Amino acid sequence: MGDVIQFVRAETKPTDYLKKDRSDVVERRCAEMKRHFEEMIETNMVYVGLTTRGSAKLPDHLLDEKKVILSFSHKFFIEDFGWDDLGIYASLTFGSAVFQVVVPWEDVLSIQAGGKLVTV
């Protein structure tokens, strides 16, 4: 018999590459955006407006735009959809291609759902 090789899965998140040393002002703004997103996503499709000039991970064809609006919903049943203190992440479909986007809270310009618009 040969050697047994064990694989250990690293517990990483798509947002691990983002800066974690934010100023207090930026930290409060990000926490506020996250709070609004969490409230809205429970029952709605949420439209997140973001700048492409930050550190968001987006498909190349969107990087030429100044602003982009992405849709997130639990109803999409996206396996890797989630968020944490650093941002939102999910594999979204663009045309026929799937791309894992990462949206840092710092890059979020607006959040809209159910007739409510939040800009912080």
* pTM, rounded to two decimals: 0.84
Q: Could you tell me if residue 109 is inside a domain?
A: yes
Q: Could you tell me if residue 15 is inside a domain?
A: no
Tell me the CA end-to-end span of the chain in Å, nearest whole number: 62
83-109 confidence digits (pLDDT tens): 999 999 999 999 999 999 999 999 999
Report the range of poorest mean pLDDT among 4-13, 43-52, 65-74, 79-88: 4-13
Q: Could you tell me if residue 13 is inside a domain?
A: no
Question: Token pair 């926490």 is at which residue?
Answer: 31
Q: Could you tell me if residue 51 is inside a domain?
A: yes
Per-residue model confidence (pLDDT) at position 8: 46
Total number of domains in the chain: 1
Q: Could you tell me if residue 9 is inside a domain?
A: no
Asked if the model's pLDDT at residue 2 lies above 70, the reply is: no
What average pLDDT does this structure show over 72-82?
A: 94
What average pLDDT does this structure show over 52-70?
A: 94
What is the extent of the structural domain holding 77? 22-115
Question: Token pair 């045309």 is at which residue?
Answer: 95
Q: Could you tell me if residue 17 is inside a domain?
A: no
Contacts of residue 53, Cβ cutoff 8 Å, sequence gap at least 6: 66, 107
Per-residue model confidence (pLDDT) at position 42: 93
Residue-averaged pLDDT of the chain: 89
Per-residue model confidence (pLDDT) at position 23: 87
Which CATH number do you get for residue 99? Answer: 2.30.30.220
